[in-house]
Structure 1
Amino acid sequence: MDMNKEIKKLESVYLEKPQRVFSMYLNTDPSDPEQQGGEWKIQFKNGMNNFEKYLQEDGDSDEKRNFWAVKEKVENYVRENEQNFAKSLVIFATADDSVWFAERFQMPVKTEFQWDDTAKVSQLKEMHQKFPQTGIILTQKETIKILDTELGTLKETSFYELDLDTEDWRQHTGPHRAQATVGSGGKSTQQEEFQARFDANRHRWYKSIASKLDKVAKKNEWERIYIIGDKEEAKDLRANMNKEVTDIVNKNMLDHEEMKVINEVIAV
């Protein structure tokens, strides 16, 4: 999804009575102390009922029918997807289906509802400004993991692993092949030899992968780039990339769950 296009499309909407645009930002964050009991369900129900009560009092039967049509679609979406909610739910909708935008995000929002002639896009724009199309590059020795993200949501994951025989970086989309662990006797001679070889060749090896990462950044139109990894490795990779790196997080998170990594970047 091209979020810039979606936002511009929503900003261009203007409808006159009895047509209206429904806008909803719903905080569904289970880590929020105010959401521990699933309070979002109450807030959602109250928000929808308040509109219905207002329209009953207003007496415009056509507008009331339009709201009921939107309410049914929104309630169906919430019911069908509530088991997969993340931190927030954002919906824009009209009765005639000319507008339908429903997305679950890993970014927090302030709960609010609107039924008006325009879509209320201010929070969505703020979210996108904070977390536009973003590349997260995790480095750990001979493995590079790439997360293509936007608005705190994972779009795609890919890997590059260094073939130590040919010294070529090979891309694959499957899960990262974890390195064998060392027994209680300490580091093996083989691992010590690899570490020495890696330290001696890291700059050259990272220089060869950096050009590939620049191409990935250009293809995905990343507006921000974060590198996560060992301090020296991340610093070396950044120095070899032509694309500007927004920030470095000095943590080894290659094998961490993707959303934990994304949340680390959101917190930066």
Structure 2
Amino acid sequence: MTFAKELEQLKEHDCKEGCLTIYLNTDQTSNDQQKGEWKIRLKNGLKKLEEYIHSSEHQNLAAYKKVKKQVQEEFNNLQLELPKSVVLIASATGKVLIKKLQISLENEFHWEKQPVLNQLERIQGQFPTEGIIFIQKEDIFTIETSLGEVKKELAYHLNFEDEDWKQYEGVAARERMASGANHRDKYQNRLEANQQRWYKTLAGTIEKEAKIRGWTAIYLVGQPDATSEFEKYLDYIKVKKINKNYHKFTSKELVGQVLAS
């Protein structure tokens, strides 16, 4: 489901007993987060809400405590792999939405009849669906990103036996990226001679998919000669080149580097 559709569904969500919305900055690289200050903010935010409900919505206190316990368990599960921020929406009906984001948010705690979506709506415009194309000699990786998250990964490996690109998806794509390209000297001349044809074929395939999935921009990542050559075969609204080699980075790290550039 796309993020836009998720937002539309959340706007229609209504809970008479109450709905808890939390925006929490958990970025461990931030100066004010070095000692796990997010835990204190979470504890204090939940405590203040409970005090408010106790004094003004006492009939909903049991529902809030049920949701609070559920939320605390969710954050305990996230401790070992914290993103930069977390959005958590939970209601007494048991429905929970968790967004782990690689972008910073302002800390907010709300208990309302409906989810509070102000920050999610704002970052939807700031971080739309985009595509990253990481180009190496025999391998090309594509990453679809939205809200700073990795949404989909594909890897294309040039098979010299049939002179065509072989596609890998998901875990297989990540494994190819982690291992790096396997450049073979005996194919070097053949590679250079046919590079234009191969790039043109693959660029058309990727661009078609990008338009279907609604990418608002494409980032070309790699060595200057490779990104410039590949760009020739793209006819896209917005293309940005980043002439760096990120082959030792995970997909998540690569997205962070590209969006911060």
Q: State TM-score, norm by structure 2.
A: 0.87
- Aligned equivalents of 2:45 and 2:189: distance in 1? 62
Asked if the contact 1:213–1:241 (Cα under 8 Å) also holds between the matched residues in 2, the reply is: no
Q: CA deviation at 1:15?
A: 5.0
Look up the match of 2:114: 118
Look up the match of 1:20: 18
Q: How many equivalent residue pairs?
A: 255
Q: Give structure 1 stretches of 5+ with no counterpart.
A: 182-189
Q: CA deviation at 1:222?
A: 2.5
Pick from 149, 163, 168 the counterpart of residue 167 of structure 1.
163
Asked if the contact 2:180–2:247 (Cα under 8 Å) also holds between the matched residues in 1, the reply is: no
Look up the match of 1:73: 70
Do structure 1's residue 238 and structure 2's residue 231 form an aligned pair? yes
- Aligned equivalents of 1:45 and 1:86: distance in 2? 18
Deviates more, 1:104-113 or 1:166-175: 166-175
Asked if the contact 2:22–2:110 (Cα under 8 Å) also holds between the matched residues in 1, the reply is: yes
Query: Partner letter of residue 85 of structure 2?
Result: S
- Aligned equivalents of 1:178 and 1:82: distance in 2? 30
Asked if the contact 2:138–2:182 (Cα under 8 Å) also holds between the matched residues in 1, the reply is: no
Deviates more, 1:35-44 or 1:76-85: 76-85
Identity %: 29
Look up the match of 1:41: 39
1:57–1:172 CA distance, 2 compared to 1 (3 A)? closer
Look up the match of 1:185: none
Q: CA deviation at 1:96?
A: 2.1
Q: CA deviation at 1:122?
A: 1.5
User: Which structure is larger by alpha-carbon Rg, 1 or 2?
Assistant: 1
Do structure 1's residue 53 and structure 2's residue 51 form an aligned pair? yes
Q: CA deviation at 1:39?
A: 0.1
Output one character per residue of 1:169-189: Cα deviation in whole Å (capped at 9) or x when no partner.
1113422264568xxxxxxxx
Do structure 1's residue 221 and structure 2's residue 218 form an aligned pair? no
- Aligned equivalents of 2:132 and 2:61: distance in 1? 46
Pick from 134, 138, 142 the counterpart of residue 142 of structure 1.
138
Look up the match of 1:87: 84
1:69–1:237 CA distance, 2 compared to 1 (3 A)? same
Asked if the contact 2:132–2:219 (Cα under 8 Å) also holds between the matched residues in 1, the reply is: yes
Pick from 4, 27, 30 the counterpart of residue 29 of structure 1.
27
- Aligned equivalents of 1:78 and 1:91: distance in 2? 9
Once the two structures are superposed, the pairs formed by residues 152-191 of structure 1 within 5 Å of their partners are 152-173=148-169, 174=172, 175-176=175-176, 178-179=180-181, 191=185
- Aligned equivalents of 1:118 and 1:80: distance in 2? 25
- Aligned equivalents of 2:219 and 2:126: distance in 1? 14
Query: Partner letter of residue 41 of structure 2?
Result: Q
Query: Partner letter of residue 68 of structure 1?
Result: K
Q: Give structure 2 stretches of 5+ with no counterpart.
A: none
Asked if the contact 2:138–2:181 (Cα under 8 Å) also holds between the matched residues in 1, the reply is: no
- Aligned equivalents of 1:21 and 1:30: distance in 2? 28
Query: Partner letter of residue 52 of structure 1?
Result: E
Q: CA deviation at 1:48?
A: 0.4
1:33–1:138 CA distance, 2 compared to 1 (3 A)? same
Deviates more, 1:3-12 or 1:157-166: 157-166
Look up the match of 1:186: none
Query: Partner letter of residue 259 of structure 2?
Result: I
Query: Partner letter of residue 84 of structure 1?
Result: E
Look up the match of 1:151: 147
Once the two structures are superposed, the pairs formed by residues 196-207 of structure 1 within 5 Å of their partners are 196-207=189-200
Output one character per residue of 1:104-141: Cα deviation in whole Å (capped at 9) or x when no partner.
12221111111123322121122222222222110011
Asked if the contact 1:148–1:220 (Cα under 8 Å) also holds between the matched residues in 2, the reply is: no
3-state secondary structure, aligned to 2:232: helix
3-state secondary structure, aligned to 1:29: coil
- Aligned equivalents of 2:224 and 2:146: distance in 1? 25
Q: CA deviation at 1:8?
A: 1.4
